[in-house]
């Protein structure tokens, strides 16, 4: 299976080059990686002068997992040189620049020859991928140089079909160690790879990133002064399917004392203009966050059109809907769970063990209709308090995962 994959990637290269000439997005994708390669090759580094660890994240969520681990390294081994790569262009340049690593870059496309210049120059001791990310040619190149390969905070959706199962098994078997985020993931990996494979549950380092971000913040977020609504329903990371389901609730008489705080997934001007129009079709009682002093806002609906506030705004909410799972996959549920909020989500949560566990515990509700939402928003105070305790406790159980992963990485090859 791996030989077939390697052959296919080689045959794919000419077509990718052609696409890059025709499609602007593909051209930018390759140009960014070409610039990163030039920067890496010119970076002043003395081979084997210090220990090197390579962390890799697929996207924004996995970068949070890497951040927690990188901070442990910076505390325990400040002399260790940390490489941090990402793949998705959804990771903002500013986020990458602010990451606590010595050298940050975008991962090359997974061809057999793509990583030689990195591995030869830096000779990392360990390569750590996060969650589910596995690039066979990267892992093969690392193993040939006796680099320890680890999948940390690991999760897996069991593959369906003979070919997909064979590929998953071949690709994941390239890791020396698989450190799962939850016991259920450990069972799934063992079912796929066998009992002899090194698979161990150490937790999800994203818990540490979430806890650290909230607890070290100096920002206090409260409801506006003299706010007249008895409860706040916060809608996080919303997409159009989310708003289509939830905005009609603005006309429900039983929710007249419930405020709606909306944080759309994207905040570009065209998206905000469209969303304002949608809100106006249900109510005129709304305010755009950037246009007013927050403490003086009295509107029932507040549309937040700036970044960096969501994780703190949960503190002032009573319920939280976390978007993405009506049409694709759920976003970060750990931040609102930290504050003990009852959570609502669409049904597509199987990729997120933390969301599934919160659902199992009764603190996250899967919703399909506005009637289901109405029922949840009218939970008794006793039930809300029980959920608050349970969700908060769940986040606490994940504290320290990054350090547990760090200690495991210090162990030599099995």
Active site amino acids: 62
Taking CB atoms within 8 Å and a gap of at least 24, the contacts of 97-104 are: 99/63, 99/66, 99/67, 99/70, 100/67, 100/70, 100/71, 100/74, 101/55, 101/70, 103/40, 103/43
C-alpha–C-alpha distance, residues 78 and 81, integer Å: 8
Number of neighbouring beta carbons within 10 Å of residue 56: 21
Contact by Cβ (8 Å): 152, 130: yes
Residue 363 Cα to chain centre, angstroms: 20
φ, ψ of residue 92 in degrees (nearest 5):
-70, 145
C-alpha–C-alpha distance, residues 127 and 148, integer Å: 6
The alpha carbon torsion through 296, 301, 305, 308 (nearest 10 deg) reads: 70
């Amino acid at each position: 299976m791996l030989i077939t994959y390697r052959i296919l990637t080689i045959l794919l290269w000419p077509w990718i080059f052609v696409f890059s000439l025709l499609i602007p997005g593909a051209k930018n994708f390759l140009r960014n990686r070409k610039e990163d390669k030039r920067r890496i090759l010119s970076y002043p580094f003395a081979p084997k002068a210090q220990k090197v660890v390579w962390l890799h994240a697929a996207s924004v969520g996995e970068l949070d997992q890497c951040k927690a681990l990188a901070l442990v390294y910076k505390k325990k081994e400040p002399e260790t040189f940390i490489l941090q790569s990402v793949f998705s262009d959804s990771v903002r340049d500013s986020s990458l620049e602010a990451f606590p690593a010595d050298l940050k870059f975008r991962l090359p496309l997974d061809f057999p020859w793509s990583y030689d210049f990195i591995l030869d120059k830096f000779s990392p001791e360990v390569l750590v991928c996060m969650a589910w990310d596995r690039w066979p040619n990267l892992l093969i190149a690392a193993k040939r140089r006796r680099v320890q390969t680890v999948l940390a905070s690991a999760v897996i959706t069991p593959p369906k079909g003979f070919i997909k199962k064979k590929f998953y098994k071949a690709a994941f078997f390239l890791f020396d160690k698989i450190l799962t985020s939850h016991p259920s993931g450990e069972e799934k990996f063992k079912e796929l790879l066998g009992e002899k494979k090194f698979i161990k549950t150490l937790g999800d380092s994203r818990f540490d990133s979430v806890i650290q971000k909230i607890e070290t913040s100096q920002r206090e977020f409260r409801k506006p002064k003299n706010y007249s609504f008895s409860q706040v329903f916060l809608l996080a990371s919303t997409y159009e399917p989310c708003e289509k389901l939830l905005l009609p609730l603005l006309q429900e008489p039983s929710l007249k004392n419930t405020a709606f705080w909306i944080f759309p997934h994207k905040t570009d001007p065209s998206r905000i203009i469209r969303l304002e129009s949608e809100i106006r079709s249900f109510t005129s009682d709304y305010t755009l966050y950037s246009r007013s002093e927050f403490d003086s806002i009295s509107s029932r609906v507040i549309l937040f059109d700036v970044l960096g506030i969501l994780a703190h705004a949960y503190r002032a909410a009573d319920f939280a809907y976390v978007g993405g799972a009506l049409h694709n996959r759920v976003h970060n549920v750990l931040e609102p769970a930290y504050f003990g909020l009852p959570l609502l989500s669409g049904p597509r949560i199987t990729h997120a063990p933390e969301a599934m566990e919160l659902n199992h515990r009764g603190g996250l509700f899967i919703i399909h209709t506005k009637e289901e939402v109405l029922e949840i928003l009218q939970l008794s105070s006793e039930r809300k308090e029980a959920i608050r305790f349970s969700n908060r406790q769940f986040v606490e159980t994940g504290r320290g995962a990054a350090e547990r992963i760090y200690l495991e990485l210090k162990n030599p090859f099995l």
